[in-house]
Chain A
Amino acid sequence: MSTEPMVAVQPTQRMSLGADVVIIGLGAGGGMVFHDLVGAGFDVIGLELGRHFTTQDMTAQEDVMMPQLFSEGGGRATDDFGISVLQGKGVGGSTLHNTNLCKRLPEELLDDWVVRFGLTDLAGKGLQDDFEAVEKLLNVHPVPDEQLNRNNVLVAQGIKALGYQGGRLSHNRGHLCRQSGFCELGCPNDGKENAERTLIRPAIAKSGRVYSEARVEKILMHRGEAVGVSGVCVDPRTGATIGEFKVQAKHVVLAGSATGSAALVKKSDVPDPYRLAGTNLHLHPGAIVAGVFAEPVEAWLGIPQAIECTQFLEFGPTAKNRAWIVSGFAHPGAAAGFMPGFGAEHAKLMREYRNTAVLITMLHDHTSGVVSPGEREQIHISYRLDKSDYDQLALGMRESARILLAAGAQRVFVPTRPARWVTRAADLDAITGSVLGPLNPSLTAVHPMSTLWMGDNRRKSVVNPEGMHHHVKNLWVADGSLFPTSIGGPPQIPIYTFARRVARAIAAAQ
């Protein structure tokens, strides 16, 4: 057993390892495969680019934690800088910084995948049983009434006043959660039932081997089969190379996210006769809308993101409305970046930070983009919303503002260019897709997906319905890359669940 980071290896030393299975990336997907296969008696090595944090490492300081917990130090973005793409880094991946949102995939979406992508196995009870088992493992439960903070209470009031569909979200929090409100910076209380705590730690205690600060550079193949990986040991802060490693394994599992896994496939020249890998990227981008209230909201206190509005969220190729609205918040450093303007006027707005409630509208996007590898951990992301998605974004922003006004906001900030302050619902009609465009508004995406997607057709998908690559035997995908379309909601429960199914398929193939 070893939990030491690869930086412990002397830079001049070349580490060579062997295992039944090597997993690249230890977030939700990689963590689940690691957990299940170690539990099944396999010899498993997990490789992770970021650090293996302890609870003591979580300092609740934005400027300290952001560069450590996020890929590219939080600076990852689409090539035109229009969308900030925040993805986790570290043993536990994005589950270290997420706000614990747990939702299953809706039936309409699964029906679409069955029809269009031949994923017939998803129609049965098996997937629902898997969802249930994962939820039990992760201690998923609705946020109780007494734990709703003021931001969430106001949003719930607005949704109710308008008669919209929506309600309480479920989270995976454990008994150590003290409602600090610092979920996004890594829980300082070990209160999350995240991948690191729930899956990886117990698997390490059995026999699993984890190497952090290890960047995989290449998938090794021989005669049409994956046989291992090679890469470099890195300084987690600067990304500087300080050693090399190679892992030989019977199975290689890609779980480095929809951006990282696809970039690695392209960098490794994995056979791709139909040039699909890295395309079909969906980002589920979101825009914030903020309402200023007469009374203090203190959105940073307590559990964030406990209420959703689903009134404008439909699924499937003919969906008319595709905006998911969820309560949000940010600590001052990040919040200041979202508020309009600069200088003294901006500082005046920050004076109202305490009285500000926030909603995020996330787009169940039909737009697709392309991922390609950059230097070191850098990923190039080409993605621009199409007209119909701008219309949906405008819908989501309008309705977010309407909810905040219905909840009693004195005025609502809508991040168009130029910024709008709305005081009456009647003024919202002017916010249409035609007034939006690149960087108007600035968007943030935390749920990239779909770049190595499942399907039964080798010409139209990258991996088979069980998660194995169509053209390379024993190369598996177990992260958000698997989803054939945007899923329109938080991906962690679907990723955990599909990774469990991939683990099962690997065990069966052994």
Chain B
Amino acid sequence: MNLLKHLAADGFRQVQAVGLLQGGRLAARVLNERYPATGDLLPWQIRTLESLQTVICATEDDELPSPEECGALEATLSFLRGMPRPTVDRMSALLALFEAAPLALGPVRVRLSALDTAQRNSFLETWPDSRLAQQRAAFHAIKTMCMMGYWTRPSTWGPIGYDIKSNPGVPDRLKEPA
């Protein structure tokens, strides 16, 4: 492990030691960004979420819509808005940490939303199976959120064979999702 990676690994441990919320604030300071009030996300964090979701929910399948086409970001934000403030605050901190993470981890040392799609994909590749449990946990949390926004869009259901309309147990009033 090179020194930078060691420092990054140490950074994750530090984040756990000082707490996720403080870690998020620290990341915002490094990025020279304002940190949101409790229960809120700021536009720069929403851009981070979008940057992550376009990679995490990317598809090369012509039948599946892109996250942008199906409104996955709006759905994710709506899902988040339905959550209690402390839960939103944890997600807010995670987004700040993700936005700042390339500055520490590289290989291109710019903020996450400044990376192009291929660079973001490459950056995220190591997270799901990282040696560091904290890094895996952070990715899992973000992935869960992004997937919830994407795969709950009805336009993604046809290609995977999921169907509510033909389910005889679902009341008619629910067969045309709002």
Per-position binary interface string of chain A over residues 80-109, scored 1 when its CB falls under 8 Å from any chain B CB and 0 otherwise:
111000000000000000000000000000
Per-position binary interface string of chain A over residues 349-362, scored 1 when its CB falls under 8 Å from any chain B CB and 0 otherwise:
01101100000000
New A-B contacts (7) at CB < 8 Å, excluding given A73-B83, A335-B151: A60-B164, A72-B83, A72-B87, A180-B169, A336-B148, A347-B59, A354-B161
Smallest CB gap from B159: residue in A: A351
Smallest CB gap from B168: residue in A: A178
CB of A378 within 8 A of chain B? yes
Collect the chain B residues with CB atoms within 8 Å of residue A332's CB.
Answer: 151-152, 156-157, 160, 162
Across the interface, B84 reaches (CB within 8 A) one of A180, A238, A342, A347, namely: A238
Q: Are A189 and B79 in contact (CB under 8 A)?
A: no
CB of A18 within 8 A of chain B? no
Stretch at the interface among B2-10, B28-36, B99-107, B121-129: B121-129
Q: Are A81 and B151 in contact (CB under 8 A)?
A: no
User: What is the CA–CA distance of A182 and B58 in the complex, to the nearest angstrom?
Assistant: 28
Collect the chain A residues with CB atoms within 8 Å of residue B150's CB.
Answer: 336
Q: Given A63-B149, A343-B55, A350-B151 in contact, is the A438-B83 Cβ separation under 8 Å?
A: no
Collect the chain B residues with CB atoms within 8 Å of residue A440's CB.
Answer: 133, 136
Smallest CB gap from B124: residue in A: A342
Q: Are B83 and A351 in contact (CB under 8 A)?
A: no
Q: Given A336-B147, A342-B124, A374-B86 in contact, is the A61-B152 Cβ separation under 8 Å?
A: yes
Q: Given A188-B174, A332-B156 in contact, is the A337-B85 Cβ separation under 8 Å?
A: no
Collect the chain B residues with CB atoms within 8 Å of residue A298's CB.
Answer: 161
Q: Are A337 and B64 in contact (CB under 8 A)?
A: no
Inter-chain contact total with CB atoms closer than 8 Å = 168
Collect the chain A residues with CB atoms within 8 Å of residue B59's CB.
Answer: 343-344, 347
Could you list some 24 contacts between A and B, CB below 8 A? Answer: A59-B174, A60-B174, A63-B152, A66-B79, A68-B82, A72-B84, A74-B83, A82-B133, A189-B169, A237-B81, A238-B85, A239-B86, A240-B39, A300-B162, A332-B160, A333-B148, A336-B151, A342-B55, A343-B121, A347-B64, A354-B160, A354-B161, A418-B129, A438-B133
Smallest CB gap from B141: residue in A: A81
Across the interface, B152 reaches (CB within 8 A) one of A74, A302, A333, namely: A333
User: What is the CA–CA distance of A467 and B168 in the complex, to the nearest angstrom?
Assistant: 44
Chain B interface helix/strand/loop/mixed? helix
Chain A interface helix/strand/loop/mixed? loop
Collect the chain B residues with CB atoms within 8 Å of residue A179's CB.
Answer: 168-169
User: What is the CA–CA distance of A496 and B64 in the complex, to the nearest angstrom?
Assistant: 45
A residues 304-346 with Cβ under 8 Å of B? 331-337, 340-344, 346
Collect the chain B residues with CB atoms within 8 Å of residue A335's CB.
Answer: 151
Measured as residues with beta carbon below 8 angstroms from the partner, the interface class of chain A is 35 or more
User: What is the CA–CA distance of A438 and B140 in the complex, to the nearest angstrom?
Assistant: 13
Q: Are B148 and A63 in contact (CB under 8 A)?
A: yes
Smallest CB gap from A64: residue in B: B82
User: What is the CA–CA distance of A72 and B162 in the complex, to the nearest angstrom?
Assistant: 28
Q: Are B140 and A439 in contact (CB under 8 A)?
A: yes
Smallest CB gap from A353: residue in B: B160
CB of A206 within 8 A of chain B? no
User: What is the CA–CA distance of A237 and B88 in the complex, to the nearest angstrom?
Assistant: 11
* Closest CB in chain B relative to A503 CB, distance in Å: 31
CB of A122 within 8 A of chain B? no
Smallest CB gap from B161: residue in A: A354
Smallest CB gap from B140: residue in A: A442
A residues 202-237 with Cβ under 8 Å of B? 237
Q: Are A340 and B128 in contact (CB under 8 A)?
A: yes
